[in-house]
């Protein structure tokens, strides 16, 4: 996963698609998010549970443990290693969902520049990416070390031609189970390893090269060429 995504629906649209009955503590805002070109290190609307309440918070995309100050903060975590490696050990229990409308990848098609592609669900529904992070505490508020990473897996099927990695995307049923603090860690690992959405759930198409500049945020960035 190259590291660029869109969040343009309102957070209430994402929550409605998730079908969670929990009361919502919303610090993202009630209107459409309207961010068509979100890059790493920026704040991204994230969903997580604290107690019996669902929280929607803007959280920095990228995280590293305190002892890894000599390296850049990763934005993704490989599903094959995330549950057992030391790097993400501190945040593996802190599960979240990154609700997005689409993500972008760049493909080398033999020209002087790589061609950006947009990837979205075929049915047009929101995409629920499995994530973990150091998350805001409802009682203490946001912390300076808050951040999150999106869990990724090997691509398969036709998506291999777009990129060799893809975000782990969960159905609404599995996303609710993933968010539930009562879900055992072992079950959470099995979900992201073996039960993510298959490439057949998605389609993709080329978009304008303007998406390569994070200053560009217009809706036409997601239009098919």
Cβ atoms of 47 and 97 within 8 Å: the answer is yes
Q: How far apart are alpha carbons 28 and 198 in whole angstroms? A: 30
Tell me the C-alpha to C-alpha distance, in Å, between residue 85 and each of 97, 112, 128, 187.
Answer: 21, 38, 24, 17
Name the nearest CA neighbour of 55 among 117, 133, 2.
133
Cβ atoms of 31 and 13 within 8 Å: the answer is no
Active site residue 196: no
Active site residue 2: yes
From the candidates 80, 105, 218, 223, which is the catalytic residue?
Answer: 105
Establish how many alpha carbons lie within 13 A of residue 43's alpha carbon, considering only the half-sphere containing its beta carbon.
Answer: 15
Instruction: Report the catalytic residues.
Output: 2, 105
């Amino acid at each position: 996963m190259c590291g660029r995504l869109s969040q343009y629906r309102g957070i209430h649209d994402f929550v409605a698609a998730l079908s969670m009955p929990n009361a919502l503590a919303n610090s993202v805002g009630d209107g459409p998010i309207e961010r068509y070109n979100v890059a790493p290190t920026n704040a991204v609307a994230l969903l997580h549970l604290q107690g019996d309440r669902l929280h929607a918070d803007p959280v920095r995309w990228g995280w590293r443990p305190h002892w890894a100050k000599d390296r850049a903060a990763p934005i993704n975590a490989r599903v094959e290693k995330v549950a057992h490696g030391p790097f993400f050990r501190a945040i593996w229990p802190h599960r979240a969902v990154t609700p997005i409308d689409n993500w972008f990848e760049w493909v080398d098609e033999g020209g002087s520049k790589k061609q950006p592609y947009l990837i979205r669900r075929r049915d047009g529904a929101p995409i629920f990416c499995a994530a973990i992070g150091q998350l805001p505490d409802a009682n203490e508020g946001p912390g300076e070390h808050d951040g999150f990473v999106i869990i990724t897996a090997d691509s398969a099927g036709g998506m291999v031609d777009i990129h060799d990695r893809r975000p782990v995307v969960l159905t609404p049923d599995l996303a609710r189970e993933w968010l539930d603090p009562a879900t055992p860690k072992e079950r959470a690992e099995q979900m992201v390893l073996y039960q993510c959405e298959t490439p057949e759930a998605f389609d993709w198409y080329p978009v304008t090269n303007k998406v390569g500049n994070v200053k560009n945020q217009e809706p036409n960035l997601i239009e098919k060429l």
